[in-house]
Structure 1
Amino acid sequence: MSAPAKFLFDMDFAAPAHAERQASRAEIAQLIADAEARAFRDGFQAAQREASVESDRRSALAMEEIAIAMRSLASNFKAVEGRVETEAVDVAVAVARKLCSELIAAEPLTEMMALVADCLRHLTSTPHIAIRVNDTLYDRARERIEDLARRSGFEGRLVILAEPDIGISDCKIEWADGGCTLDRAATNDRIAELVERYMAARNQAGYSAGRGS
């Protein structure tokens, strides 16, 4: 068994074994610079993250505003498209009426003779036919109608009457069990009614489609 070590009271425990070296000014400056660099880097990265979040938020808001604007534009476009189509149809009808009026003024008997010829072709055995025409066209119409009757082989009695109330180029054809009428005013009214119904149906379809989108 080894002898216990003697306790020596001459050791100075207050004195450090090795004296700590004080940092130089250059080292302190470098430490400060490193700390500032880390702080700047951390702050810059945090600012970048915050800017990215804000950018995403602004982008989302912008996209939402664009979507709202596009829906509004589409709705307005449908309304404009409907108005343009309505105006286009109105113009087309007006042009057609104008052209029809010009043609009738130039050849007032054309449509009348076409209708009379068709009737005479199918009514050759009818005993009696009465044809009413505008009084200002009576002489011209009678000559052409009688010629059509001879060429069609009609053998019945043909009566041609002048009527001041019948429109230019219009006529009424009557026989024992039937009749037909050429009435341009009634035809124009019918065309206007059909156009109005068509446009109403189109507008209703566009409105329903707009609500469904």
Structure 2
Amino acid sequence: MTQPQAFSFDTEFSASGEVLRASTWRPMKRSYAPNEVEALLAQARAETRTATLAEAEGLRAQALAMIGQTLAEAGPALKAVAERHRADSADLALVAARVLAGAALARFPHGPLQTALETLAEEVEASPRLVVSVPGLDEEGRAEITRLCAEAGMQGLVVFRDEPGLPPAAFVLEWADGRATYDPAGVETRMREALEAALAAEAGHAEALSAPTSEGAL
């Protein structure tokens, strides 16, 4: 048999019947007015929106962190790819320049010599003698070079020396106060060295360019 239990009221009264502590119990509300329903719905929407935005912001921060980590890990690889691309582009440019220069020198073999004479006109025009060393020189070539010297203002004696060891279009000019040389292979080498130094500078480990020779190489 179940023992009956006394009901406990949380309202406290004094001996005279005054309420010392009111009851905290409230009956559960069973129905709501339309405006109360709207207020509860608005509150629920606001709470849901706040929670959703907080969750989205957390996901966004996590995604940004993952992107940053991925970029940091991919940075060295991307840098290496960019450097390789620049180097390959430079090699392609040098190959194209070599082909074009070869075609130009085959068509105008004395073009570099003419440019040199025009550039050095003030230095060689007063010289009593100019020695021109070129490979495979024939009579037509001699006449052409003599004409170029005259156009540059050279009034002294022009002496020719055949230098079979020089590459095509190369030459050596010697006069009383100086000397100038031109070697297509040397020009290509200096261009490659300058290009490699520029690429190294972009990569952050540049080396000083070698000092030019005192002979006035063109």
Indicate the TM-score class for this superposition, using the shorter chain for normalisation: 0.5 to 0.7
1:101 match: 102
Deviations along 1:177-211, one digit per CA (max 9) or x if unpaired, are 21101111111111111111111111127xxxxxx
The one-letter amino acid paired with 1:80 is V
- Distance change in 2, residues 1:58/1:197 (3 Å): same
- C-alpha distance in structure 1 between counterparts of 2:98 and 2:59, whole Å: 57
For structure 2, the 5+ residue unaligned runs are 1-27, 29-43, 206-218
Alignment of 1:41-190 (within 5 A): 60-135=61-136, 137-190=137-190
Summarize the alignment of residues 193-212 of structure 1 with structure 2, pairs less than 5 Å apart: 193-204=193-204
Task: Report the AA paired with residue 111 of structure 2.
Answer: T
Q: 1:162: how far off?
A: 0.8
1:102, distance to aligned residue in structure 2 (A): 1.3
Aligned residues: 161
Larger radius of gyration: 1
Counterpart in 1 of 2:210? Answer: none
SS in 2 for 1:168: coil
Relative to structure 1, the CA distance from residue 123 to residue 176 in structure 2 (aligned partners, 3 Å threshold; closer, same or farther) is same
Give the structure 2 partner of residue 41 of structure 1: none
CA displacement at 1:90 relative to structure 2: 1.7
Q: Which runs of 5+ in 1 are unaligned?
A: 1-30, 32-44, 206-213
Tell me, in whole angstroms, the C-alpha distance in 2 between the residues paired with 1:122 and 1:200.
Answer: 37
Provide the C-alpha distance between the structure 1 equivalents of 2:190 and 2:180, rounded to a whole number of angstroms: 16
Give the Cα separation in 2 of the matches to 1:113 and 1:164: 20
Residue 104 of structure 1: CA displacement?
0.9
Question: Would the alpha carbon gap of residues 150 and 90 (structure 1) be closer, same or farther in structure 2, given more than 3 Å must change?
Answer: closer
Alignment-mate amino acid for residue 126 of structure 2: S
The structure, 1 or 2, with the larger RCO (C-alpha pairs under 8 Å, 6+ apart) is 1
Q: Distance in 2 between the 1:121 and 1:145 partners?
A: 17
Structure 1 residues 70 and 173: CA distance shift in structure 2, 3 A: same
1:136-182 per-position Cα deviation (integer Å, ceiling 9, x unaligned): x3333211122233444533221011110111111100012211011
| TM-score normalised by L of structure 1 | 0.63
SS across alignment from 2:109: coil
Amino acid at match of 1:154: M
Q: Residue 117 of structure 2 contacts residue 152 of structure 2 at CA under 8 Å; is this kept in 1? A: no
Equivalent pair of 2:131/2:159 in contact (CA under 8 Å)? yes
**TM-score scaled by length of structure 2:** 0.61
| Kept in 1: contact 2:127–2:156 (CA 8 A) | yes
CA distance in 2, matches of 1:107, 1:147: 15
Q: What letter is aligned with 2:171?
A: C
Report the CA distance between 1:84 and its aligned residue: 1.4
Q: Identify the structure with the greater helix proportion.
A: 1
> Residues 153 and 54 from structure 1, CA distance in 2 versus in 1: closer, same or farther, beyond 3 angstroms?
closer
**Structure 1 residues 104 and 148 mapped into 2: Cα distance closer, same or farther (>3 Å)?**
closer
| % identical equivalent positions | 25
